[in-house]
Amino acid sequence: MKRFVYINDDEASKELCCDNRISNTKYNLWNFFPKNLLEQFSRFMNQYFLLIACLQLWSLITPVNPASTWGPLIFIFAVSASKEAWDDYHRYLSDKKANEREVWIVKHGIKTHIQAQDIQVGNIVWLRENDEVPCDLVLLGTSDPQGVCYVETAALDGETDLKTRVIPSACVGIDLELLHKMKGVIECPIPDKDIRRFDANMRLFPPFIDNDVCSLTIKNTLLQSCYLRNTEWACGVSVYTGNQTKLGMCRGVAEPKLTAMDAMIDKLTGAIFVFQIVVVMVLGVAGNVWKDTEARKQWYVQYPEEAPWYELLVIPLRFELLCSIMIPISIKVSLDLVKGLYAKFIEWDVEMVDQETGTASYAANTAISEDLGQVEYILTDKTGTLTDNKMIFRRCCIGGIFYGNENGDALKDTQLLDAITSGSTDVIRFLTVMAICNTVIPVRSKAGDIIYKAQSQDEDALVIAAAKLNMVFVGKNANLLELMFNGVMIRYEVLEILEFTSDRKRMSVVVKDCQNGKTILLSKGADESMLPSAYAGQQTRTIAEAVEHYAQLGLRTLCLAWRELEEDEYLEWSVKFKEASSVLVDREWRIAEVCQRLERDLTILGVTAIEDRLQDGVPETIETLRKAGINFWMLTGDKQNTAIQIALSCNFISPEPKGQLLLIDGKTEEDVSRSLERVLLTMRTTTSEPKDVAFVIDGWALEIALKHHRKDFVELAILSRTAICCRVTPSQKAQLVEILKSCDYRTLAIGDGGNDVRMIQQADIGVGISGREGLQAARAADYSIGRFRFLKRLILVHGRYSYNRTAFLSQYSFYKSLLICFIQIFFSFISGVSGTSLFNSVSLMAYNVFYTSVPVLVSVIDKDLSEATVMQHPQILFYCQAGRLLNPSTFAGWFGRSLFHAIVVFVITIHAYAYEKSEMEELGMVALSGCIWLQAFVVAQETNSFTVLQHLSIWGNLVGFYVLNFLFSAIPSSGMYTIMFRLCSQPSYWITMFLIVGAGMGPIFALKYYRYTYRPSKINILQQAERMGGPILTLGNIETQPRTIEKDLSPTSIMTQPKNRSPVYEPLLSESPNATRRSFGPGAPFEFFQSQSRLSSSSGYTRNCKDN
């Protein structure tokens, strides 16, 4: 599909009627309420509560005032709607500012001032220096005589270095006055979101040019939200406007990610719902039976002789309304609120601020903080993520001679300096390729120094190194390049640029030497793409050995080449290149095919070796996280040996003999199959040898493995703890993440460049590093950090605390709702199973919203262990990874606690007040008071680190309960008139509260004391050590038992029987039969603390792995 944009012609462009109004809002004044309500009621829980609220409007069945449900429901909806409205209003203000910005356009040949939102497709837009580009433009003219301008694209792709944009060849030489009158047509694709591609053609109408077709690329465009820099003015024709710009097409709301804890809460909610239905059916039947047998015998019960057809439904529906509070109505809002606070804690953490750049951490996704504490696999990029992305030229090999081997710095190698002084032809050609085979822009500072603006750190390092070796790139004036070598000015005219692509793995420039008129091809690229292109007679063995040698040192390598072109050859090729550049379909493939014809018979000049140092703290971070049971995969586009050396230096893998690397390679299906089978066999038969086993695979073998041997590769992924994947593409990175996710592992992907975006978005948690490659990864990620070492704190501190707090909050929310519901059920047994409510409507309405919410919300600052202890003992993350704090077993404990407390409250209350001829309202208030007292002590008991704020919230909330009820008791129409005054004046009331607290909390405290003293967990031991202030004792290393593979296991048996992964040993975390975790393989020791319990095995653990 394509569209035609007519330049400076409003009538012809009318069909492209989209104006330039930007709209990122979800709502407007007219659709906010219906649309927001529709979104809220798309959730099952909200639909359920709405149904309950509507049933309460039926006066025949409702046991309480409908306000008891409608009040909290409206309050919760209002909170959610207010948050949405607030966020949308800020989006509206941002849009309004952008839409009302004033710009210059040409209308009827005259420059006119209009608002940016009024720009139409086809308008000519004028920009001045530092102006923001209001829409996507095709450049027509600039203040530079050569038609060049500079743009900053940080708002688009995060890259802060300036980029060059040039006018199309058809516009060269057009006078400034004629630009106002320009007419023509642009044939371009329909709007898309690819910010790196624009394949279009332009034809100017006479008298400007004789209808020649001029091809357009992304180099000829100015995209929306970029800024014009170092250029006095520029003008262009608008081709995409409003939300149809490339940036506008990239906008959108990412699909929400469901955390493991959210999934568990949904399952528990479903279980409670089933339990509720069973209870309602049983009580409904019992109520109808009692009514037909016993109730009619009572003189005070007056049932009609003939009842309507729906009479049998009345009592079950009354119990449904009574039991509806089993599912806490406030849990969704409470979780959203505390998760938002968790995200703020990450942003406020001063220990996660990069002091070098001042970059703070940022949480773009506020809903998945607890998933950080359950990470099992980390998939990481290498360059810029593990390394600093500060490239330093260290060594080189030119013409078979190695430079920099002795002192590790080629720039100080006297042999190389002597070769430069003597004018060695090979060395001069080598330096020339280093200096000008790139897209670097030299800029003069105010002090007169040359500053290089490079899109690639490798290019920046090469140009700087060439300058230090006397080949100084001093200026770039349109297509004219100026070099200063030993005081002599050398000029080259750029004829064509063959840009780098991930498929070609090289870039080239065709230049003309202005001194002798020769046409030369300069190339640089990866060795696997350059060496096969060498001319037939050249011996490349030395070059290959140099590449291998530098890779083993962990250096990044590039091969440099040169070829002199015949004039006729170049002219013939240029015609084909122009034709390929003009096609709209498969342009990139056609250009690559044409480039291949020129990039042949090359003279390989030598190899550059660039050092990319590890970031500070990377080895320590990886070692700590591996102790926490997290597995690491490195996914990189670098050479295999380079990746292995980096992996060794950052504790990714262990050197021999402790570590073992298994290589998967091959260029054919048969070779890869044989290699994969060998590695799998080794993995399966590895027993208790203390070896750190990892596998290495390159992109070619990976593609074959995923296509033809996917099941075997998935089995390998399950068995291995560490993997190094080299020469992989962005799509392959995403595929590897998907494979691990398909086996129900929680994955975290971390990277810093645009090639990591797909991987980051595919993972359960995406982390971007605000690095030197720009902010593409950081913007696409759920979390962005300044340095890799902050990942340790992000996971161990913030992730673990978030998991612990959310686990408590969610289960406590169910506990308090079940407590009040069980009391209602018990009361039904002494009220004729009639569905009568013990509590009045005001109490029920305030119960969830006010009485029990404040202490829980303050639990977001609770810490079971200090941050220092958590960082010192990362092994305790196993408890979070295994889901030890929120699972059916722990939930059953809270369920039993609510049932026990309900029995205590009900029995004591009934025996204390039922025979005193008390009003039912008084009985209900005593029971409610007992619930509030118990919950205050439950929260206090579950709190690990008390602060003034927590004391105020727990005990202040208890005081607030009485203050509110004193106020309600003073209102005659409240239904509670004088009740609290009467109760509080009675000593029996306070004795009842004492008995309820003593009977309810006594066994709980006793059980906790027994477990804390005689059967402590590893966390309990650390807590005791912290409180005593003494050293933490350890047992040394506890080795996990090796994974065992059944002898009769076929190569794909693990995948053919996905529901039984018993061949993979998975140790227990404690004595609980439900606390299981997967094994981390042999050679994965972890220290624990002095305890009588030890890890034991379980053969019954299963994990479902989807068959791919």
Numbers of helices and strands, H then E, in the chain: 37, 37
- Write the CB contacts of 1020 (distance below 8 Å, at least 6 apart in sequence): 1011, 1012
Structure tokens at 501: 């692509």
- Write the CB contacts of 575 (distance below 8 Å, at least 6 apart in sequence): none
Do 980 and 842 form a contact (C-beta atoms < 8 A)?
no
What span, in angstroms and rounded, lies between the C-alpha atoms of 41 and 39? 6
Centroid of chain to Cα 262: 17
- Alpha helix locations (H) across 599-688? 618-627, 640-649, 669-685
Do 374 and 746 form a contact (C-beta atoms < 8 A)?
yes
> Smallest Cα–Cα separation from 265: which of 891, 741, 1103?
891
CA angle 894, 899, 904 (to 5 degrees): 120
Largest CA distance in the chain: 123
CA angle 215, 220, 222 (to 5 degrees): 145
Q: Collapsing DSSP states into helix, strand and coil, what is residue 11? A: coil
What span, in angstroms and rounded, lies between the C-alpha atoms of 883 and 839? 36
Q: How would you class 936 by CB atoms within 10 Å of its CB: exposed for 0-12, middle for 13-18, buried for 19 or more?
A: buried
Q: Where are the beta strands (DSSP E) in 789-854?
A: none
Q: Which of 381, 388, 413, 527 is catalytic?
A: 381
DSSP 540: -
CA angle 93, 99, 104 (to 5 degrees): 150
- What are the DSSP calls for 26-76, one per residue? S--TTTHHHHHHHHHTTSHHHHHHHHHHHHTT-TTT-SS-THHHHHHHHHH
- Write the CB contacts of 737 (distance below 8 Å, at least 6 apart in sequence): 379, 747, 749, 759, 762, 763
- Write the CB contacts of 600 (distance below 8 Å, at least 6 apart in sequence): 533
What are the distances in angstroms from CA 833 to CA 289, 735, 805? 9, 58, 39
- 75, 79, 85, 87 alpha-carbon torsion, rounded to 10°: 180
Structure tokens at 247: 């940036």
Active site residue 87: no
CA angle 973, 976, 979 (to 5 degrees): 135
What span, in angstroms and rounded, lies between the C-alpha atoms of 447 and 750? 39
Structure tokens at 110: 């005259």
- What are the DSSP calls for 734-803, one per residue? HHHHHHHHHTT--EEEEE-SGGGHHHHHHSSEEEEE-BTTBSHHHHHSSEEESSTTHHHHIIIIIIHHHH
> Which residues are part of the catalytic machinery?
381
